[in-house]
Structure 1
Amino acid sequence: MSSQEKERQMASIELDEATLQGQVEIWRSLLIFADSMALKSAVELRIADIIHSHGGAITLSQIASCINGGSGTSSPDITTLARIMRLLVRRKIFTVHHPSDGGDPVYDLTHSSRWILHDSEQTLAPLVLLENHPLLMAPWHCFSQCVQEGGIAFKKAHGREIWDMASENPELNLLFNDGMACTSKFITRAILSGYKEGLSSIGSLVDVGGGTGSLISEIVKAYPYIKGVNFDLQHVISTAPPYDGVSHIGGDMFQAIPSADAVIMKWILHDWGDEDCIQILKNCRKAIPRGKGKVIIVEVVLKPDGNGLYDDLGFVLDLVMIAHTRCGKERTEVEWKRILEQGGFSRYNIIDIPALTSIIEAYPDDY
């Protein structure tokens, strides 16, 4: 065989391998939802909590015996459980150890499964249940319609927008609030550890879209001299518990925002299109004193060429915005700069914190 023929043969083999790899990537993308459903089942069955409460690795039989609270009202299907756990082990959500004496395999937690413990201070379990709820999954099936004819994915799926549905559906409202509150806990820790200087000079702070008040309450706890205001829609704050040093105020951020030295917004502006964000920023500008004050925006800053720990996830969250909001989106620094300037904030700093989000510290034009 000539050298040219060998080269052609090698090129053909490489092409075949590339073709097969391409097929595998499509399969993976096609069935990636299986990971979400397996994870959801683990959260619903409280598998991580069962292992954690045992204090160490346990067998499938031991896990099964604790499902349904160990009531014995029904007998769990261990074969199905084993198959779900097999995938979750491959995804490194759990680990499995096969004893050398031939005993039953035992399963244990990993750094990942510790994030789905229900009673942990740092848990994503409520978010797993929220994002995989059938009501929130349905809009994803409307993406092609949105491309073809425009419109809002959630409204196409349900005939109304998510905020309207949440205001009329107490179960969904609770699920949504719990999902947002759980992310708030660890992002709050990141804010408190990575933005100490920025918070230390504030006398009063209003959290716009603050939900049930988890973020502002932790800030006030860390800085007791700050007068905190939790501001959100009336049906949201109606479920908010009392916190020392925090006032709950119901209202509409598109109409007016309570006055304070500074405004903080965590994962609010990404829910809205540019024009809505500009209106919210203009109202923030009116809420803070002239010649001073600032807006603290806690959001993702997309980096198209970034290869950091969270950079890829930001682009996935951008599609979540298509699924669940009117015209919300994650933004690049260039996009943030444009809406900040049009909202009356010509100066800004981007501050990295140990979280998916960054802090965009924005100052008004007359600062």
Structure 2
Amino acid sequence: METAEEISLRGQAEIWKYMFSFADSMAVKCAVELRIPDIINNHKGPMSLSQIAAAIPNATSSPNVACLTRIMRLLVRRNIFAAHRPSDGSEDSTTLYGLTHLSTWLLSGDGDDQLTLAPMLLMENHPWLTAPWHCFGQCVREGGLAFEKAHGPEIWDFVSENGEFNRMLNKGMECASRIVLKAVVAAYKDGLGSVESLVDVGGGTGGAVAAIVKSCPHIKGINFDLPDVVAKAPVHPGVLHVGGDMFESVPNADAWIMHDWSDEDCVKILKNCRKAIPETGGKVIIVDIVLEPEGNGLFDDTGLVLDLVMVAHTSAGKERTENEWKKILKEGGFPRYKVIKIPALTSIIEAYPQ
């Protein structure tokens, strides 16, 4: 049984931890920027710090190995890298640093088959996207959007005015989408087996629906987004790009995939899907987070954090509990639904018109 003094001391230690929790993400970001996971991976085995430093791209002839030592010490503590120390315990012998099951997710991701979170990590920790987090207090006191308070324009206007930000955002979202879709296709083959045509509503450049069609070639894929977006989209085998406004109407198909929007926008899109749905057999497939605030699953904590990411970066986006999904589905004309859990951050929600 802990004493009051021990409980208080533990509380102090926890606050110190949360106070500096940003240091973890900054240290990981540094390792990715220096391409340390790739350096070790290309070496085909553990390396000394001097070997790693010598291989860092664009480094000077005398990189700061002492600084690198301190960064790697924390990352070893966090299990991002493994430290292979000499068996004799000698201080004079060289410690070698290797990859772990965490750092393999930080490889650069060159090639379509490489699953990586590195671009997403760099994106979320960029000053442009961390700045809105400092505006949460203002948002609570005054209302308004965190991104606008930090930068002036809302995020999509900022994207349109900043090519570098647009490229960074696309890379980050594409890598996350690739991971989710691999899990969706693997776990949802039965659900996709009966689908002959599929529309990705707001599908951007079509990467998501292309991944589904590649795995399920019997499906006719339609990538639906604004005309200026699909005009820049690359050609994907089996995918037709269609331009339009999802708040006005959506193309006819057997099924639609949706992503996160405000409640009001979700209902508008769902109603348009309901109008276009076949009399029998049609469904909407939602690939998104289903929050479990009291849950202890692998991704439940991350889901709550991502809901705050929506506050920081979007105009009205949010993550939802099952009851919140149930409400907007019913308002959108889909009184029946099923939540399918998959080994991923997201779940699949099948929504039926009757």
Q: Which residue of 2 aligns with 1:78?
A: 65
- How many Å apart are 1:15 and its aligned residue? 1.0
Equivalent residue in structure 2 for 1:117, among 93, 107, 126 = 107
- How many Å apart are 1:209 and its aligned residue? 2.1
Aligned residue type for 1:143: F
Query: Equivalent residue of 1:359, what SS?
Result: strand
Moved more, 311-320 or 203-212: 203-212
Question: When the two structures are superposed, what TM-score results if normalisation uses the length of structure 1?
Answer: 0.91
Aligned counterparts of 2:127 and 2:61: Cα–Cα separation in 1: 25
Aligned counterparts of 1:286 and 1:103: Cα–Cα separation in 2: 71
Whether the aligned pair in 2 keeps the contact of 1:167 and 1:235 (CA below 8 Å) is no
Aligned residue type for 1:335: E
- How many Å apart are 1:289 and its aligned residue? 2.2
The reply on whether 1:151 has 2:144 as its aligned counterpart is yes
Q: Which residue of 2 aligns with 1:57?
A: 46
Q: Which residue of 1 aligns with 2:333?
A: 344
Equivalent residue in structure 2 for 1:136, among 129, 133, 150 = 129
Q: Which residue of 2 aligns with 1:7?
A: none
- How many Å apart are 1:318 and its aligned residue? 0.8
- How many Å apart are 1:234 and its aligned residue? 4.2
Aligned residue type for 1:356: L
Residue-pair matches, total: 348
The reply on whether 1:306 has 2:295 as its aligned counterpart is yes
Describe the shift of the 1:282–1:74 C-alpha distance in structure 2 as closer, same or farther (beyond 3 A): farther
Query: Equivalent residue of 1:68, what SS?
Result: coil
Aligned counterparts of 1:196 and 1:214: Cα–Cα separation in 2: 18
Q: Which residue of 2 aligns with 1:200?
A: 193
What does the per-residue CA deviation read over 1:311-351, in whole Å, with 9 as the maximum and x for residues that have no partner? 11111111111101112211111000000000111010000
- How many Å apart are 1:238 and its aligned residue? 4.4
Moved more, 274-283 or 343-352: 274-283
Aligned counterparts of 1:287 and 1:75: Cα–Cα separation in 2: 64
Moved more, 282-291 or 134-143: 282-291
Whether the aligned pair in 2 keeps the contact of 1:352 and 1:359 (CA below 8 Å) is yes
Query: Equivalent residue of 1:306, what SS?
Result: coil
Q: Point out where structure 2 has 5 or more consecutive residues left out of the alignment.
A: none
What does the per-residue CA deviation read over 1:180-209, in whole Å, with 9 as the maximum and x for residues that have no partner? 110111211111111111101111111112
Describe the shift of the 1:239–1:35 C-alpha distance in structure 2 as closer, same or farther (beyond 3 A): farther
Q: Which residue of 1 aligns with 2:353?
A: 364
Q: Which residue of 2 aligns with 1:180?
A: 173
Q: Which residue of 2 aligns with 1:96?
A: 83
- How many Å apart are 1:73 and its aligned residue? 4.5
Q: Which residue of 1 aligns with 2:323?
A: 334
- How many Å apart are 1:90 and its aligned residue? 0.8
Moved more, 252-261 or 311-320: 252-261
Equivalent residue in structure 1 for 2:235, among 231, 239, 242 = 242
What does the per-residue CA deviation read over 1:255-304, in whole Å, with 9 as the maximum and x for residues that have no partner? 32222111012xx22xx321121112112222322344110001111112
Moved more, 204-213 or 39-48: 204-213
Moved more, 100-109 or 338-347: 100-109
Aligned residue type for 2:201: V
Query: Equivalent residue of 1:61, what SS?
Result: helix
The reply on whether 1:213 has 2:206 as its aligned counterpart is yes
Q: Which residue of 2 aligns with 1:34?
A: 23
What does the per-residue CA deviation read over 1:144-174, in whole Å, with 9 as the maximum and x for residues that have no partner? 1111111111111111111111122221111
Query: Equivalent residue of 1:362, what SS?
Result: strand
Aligned counterparts of 2:279 and 2:170: Cα–Cα separation in 1: 34
Aligned counterparts of 1:316 and 1:158: Cα–Cα separation in 2: 22
Aligned residue type for 2:57: N
Q: Which residue of 2 aligns with 1:43?
A: 32
Q: CA RMSD in A?
A: 1.6
Aligned counterparts of 1:76 and 1:237: Cα–Cα separation in 2: 45
Whether the aligned pair in 2 keeps the contact of 1:130 and 1:136 (CA below 8 Å) is yes
Q: Which residue of 1 aligns with 2:257?
A: 264
Q: Which residue of 2 aligns with 1:3?
A: none
Whether the aligned pair in 2 keeps the contact of 1:263 and 1:288 (CA below 8 Å) is no
Identity of aligned residues (%): 61
The reply on whether 1:107 has 2:97 as its aligned counterpart is yes
Aligned counterparts of 1:174 and 1:237: Cα–Cα separation in 2: 16
